[in-house]
């Protein structure tokens, strides 16, 4: 069969949301306000520019274009100081088992992430060479929930959208997969991700039998 799989990065393969939160929080604090973990949920899967726009709205702060660019660069520098310390221990539990199963069964898989830092993160955790294709924030112009990132990934895998299975932790990402007419598998809470075709709290709850089932259907 010609099924292929597309993985989101942050929140699916690694938990970099905790580092994004620390870095955004520092930026907010430097500008004189604070952000909550709850607000951080709304930043998941959202591009860097959109994230900063949302945060500035929450803090009721306005920046000049030059200041905006400077703050984004500082945030990324700070975020990368955490990424720098990552290694394969950061791969979320249960992920490797699924990737190995796909590899053993010759099922191609790609990355479909909003992050411009995706390649460096994949190299840090030792998974860079495992992906058939990597589509990230550098390759697309329309952010999730626009399906562009997943459609480009499907294209690179030479697969039709109907044959793609997407693993996503964000609401925007699940919507993007659904809009692309792909099978969407949410990783996280059912409360947030009820629009997904299936939802699992994390990869340890996903059995090889389930993977086999969705590959066959």
Catalytic residue numbers read: 8, 10
Output Rg (C-alpha) for the chain, integer angstroms: 17
Q: Cβ closer to ligand B16: 76 or 163?
A: 76
Closest C-alpha among 5, 8, 6, 9 to residue 121: 9
Comparison of 115 and 178: residue with beta carbon closer to ligand B16: 115
Name the minimum Å distance from CB 168 to Mg ion.
Answer: 6
3 state DSSP class of 29 = helix
Candidates 32-40, 64-72, 170-178, 183-191 — which segment interacts with Mg ion by CB under 5 A? 170-178
Which residues does 53 contact at the CB level (< 8 Å), separation at least 6?
none
Q: Which two tokens stand for residue 125?
A: 């955790």
- In the list 5, 150, 169, 182, the residue contacting Mg ion (rule: CB under 5 A) is 169
Q: Which does 40 bind (CB under 5 to 8 A by kind): ligand B16, Mg ion, none?
A: none
In the chain, the N- to C-terminal Cα span, in Å, equals 9
Q: Look up residue 157 and give its two tokens.
A: 């895998």
71 or 113, CB closer to ligand B16?
A: 113
Q: Considering CB distances under 5 to 8 angstroms, the limit depending on partner class, which of ligand B16, Mg ion, none binds residue 137?
A: ligand B16
CA 179/CA 171 separation, integer angstroms: 12
Instruction: Choose between 33 and 82: whose C-beta lies nearer to Mg ion.
Output: 82
**51 interacts with, out of Mg ion, ligand B16, none, CB within 5 to 8 A per kind:** ligand B16
What is the size of the binding site for Mg ion (CB under 5 A)?
6
Token output for 75: 């945030």
Strands 164-168 and 183-187: parallel
Residues 50-109 that bind Mg ion (CB under 5 A): none
Structure tokens given for 123: 């190299």
Chain residues binding ligand B16 by CB under 6 A are: 8-11, 20, 43-48, 51, 76, 113-117, 137, 170
Of the candidate residues 3, 6, 7, 8, the single one contacting Mg ion (CB under 5 A): 8
170 binds Mg ion (CB under 5 A): yes
CB 19 within 8 A of CB 82: yes
Kindly tell me which of 113 and 184 has the beta carbon lying closer to ligand B16: 113
CB of 1 to ligand B16, least distance (A): 27
Residues 52 and 76: beta-carbon distance below 8 Å: no
């Amino acid at each position: 069969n010609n099924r292929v799989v597309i993985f989101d990065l942050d929140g699916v393969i690694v938990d970099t949301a905790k580092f994004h939160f620390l870095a955004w929080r520092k930026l907010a604090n430097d500008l004189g306000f604070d952000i909550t973990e709850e607000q951080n949920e709304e930043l998941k899967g959202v591009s860097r520019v959109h994230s900063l726009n949302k945060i500035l709205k929450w803090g009721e702060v306005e920046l000049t274009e030059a200041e905006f660019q400077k703050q984004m660069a500082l945030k990324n520098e700070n975020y990368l100081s955490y990424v720098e310390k990552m290694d394969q221990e950061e791969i979320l539990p249960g992920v490797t088992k699924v990737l190995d199963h796909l590899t053993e069964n010759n099922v191609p898989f790609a990355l479909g992430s909003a992050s411009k830092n995706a390649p460096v993160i994949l190299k840090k955790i030792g998974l860079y060479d495992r992906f058939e294709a990597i589509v990230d924030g550098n390759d697309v112009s329309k952010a999730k929930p626009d399906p562009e990132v997943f459609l480009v990934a499907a294209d690179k895998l030479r697969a039709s959208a109907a044959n793609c299975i997407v693993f996503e932790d964000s609401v925007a990402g699940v919507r993007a997969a659904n809009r692309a007419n792909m099978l969407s598998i949410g990783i996280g809470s059912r409360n947030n991700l009820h629009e997904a075709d299936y939802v699992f709290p994390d990869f340890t709850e996903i059995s090889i039998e389930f993977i086999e089932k969705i590959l066959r259907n």
